[in-house]
Amino acid sequence: MNIGYLSTIYHTSFILKSPDNKFLDSIGGDLNWTLFPTGPAMMEAFKSGEIDLGYIGLPPVMIGVDKGLKLKCVAGGHVEGTVMISRDSFSSCDDLNNLDNVLKQFEGRNIGTPAQGSIHDVIIRDLIQDRDISIINYPWADFIPSAIQNGEIAAGLGTPALATVASREINSKLIIPPSKLWPYNPSYGIVVREELLNQDPDFIKNFLTEHEAACNFIRNQPHDAAEVAAGELGGIDVEFILETFQISPRYCASLPEEYIRSTLDFVSVLQKLGYLENKIKKEDVFELKFIQEVHPEPSHYYLPSYVVDPEN
């Protein structure tokens, strides 16, 4: 089975693919993991048949479905995974208590975000409509801190890891937190080729069982989970991963109605931006039967997470 994943450190991919844990022992078979820079790049791999399953934000999936790709989201993973960062010279939502006033500060300036069609790109383009703000897209979010530092952009959007990196590298701050940009937005889900639903339903069910266990591991034992992820990533310390985990601790595999509704709210935005030609419906994107069997209880996205002191 060929699995595509991103460099997002709070995805369960870094827990499941680590040889130091036993999460995937029950699945069996060969799992081939391929790293992609962005969701849109992963969609190209789905199109070419290079991967069977992917960890990906839902807007790129909807764009792919609109173009004829046969894909289904079979589980969630995290919500509210987009943040906006900038330098201390700009006021934050906490300072101004008003999203409109925060964005006004960036009139006549550039804001950076990952690739066109990524969830971060779609969110910020929706927010700046009718404003004199330009968007610069980067192939990797890693380029955003230096672009802020050299003045190419005034602010940047990306995952919580971007906020952690930038706060260390350029002493940036969180300008708009995840919950304010797009509440309950589907930061990533588990997406499979549609033919896999009938060809290998046992694999999907077993994978989602372990995926949910890994979500619980991150939420309930963040220090232990951070150690596993750090061992898999290499060169990233546990404290960095813990800080990233806790910027937006909304981890779960389920697909509750709030997740689905927030996803479908992107349809009109994607159409307005010219990314979609057709009106995508719930059944075009989601297949719920597997996760409803694996995770029949209420979602865990907004349960309190266990907060760890990185010094202890």
Percent of the chain scoring above 90 in pLDDT: 84
The pLDDT value recorded for residue 19 is 80
According to DSSP, residue 61 is labeled: H
Helix axes 257-272, 119-127, angle to 10 degrees: 70
What is the average pLDDT across 221-232? Answer: 93
Are 67 and 191 in the same domain? Answer: yes
pLDDT bin (cut points 50, 70, 90) of residue 21 is low
In a domain, 304, yes or no: no
Report residue 262 as tokens. Answer: 């927030």
- Does 23 have pLDDT greater than 90? no
In a domain, 310, yes or no: no
In a domain, 249, yes or no: yes
Report residue 128 as tokens. Answer: 């700046």
* Tokens 């906006």, residue located: 84
* Average pLDDT value over all residues in the chain: 92
Q: Which domain holds residue 243?
A: 2-79+185-294
Report residue 191 as tokens. Answer: 């997406």
In a domain, 303, yes or no: no
The pLDDT value recorded for residue 28 is 61
Report residue 179 as tokens. Answer: 């919950």
pLDDT tens figures, 33-64: 999 988 889 999 999 999 999 999 999 999 99
- Does 307 have pLDDT greater than 60? no
Question: What total number of domains does the chain contain?
Answer: 2
pLDDT tens figures, 186-206: 999 999 999 999 999 999 999
In a domain, 305, yes or no: no
pLDDT bin (cut points 50, 70, 90) of residue 141 is confident
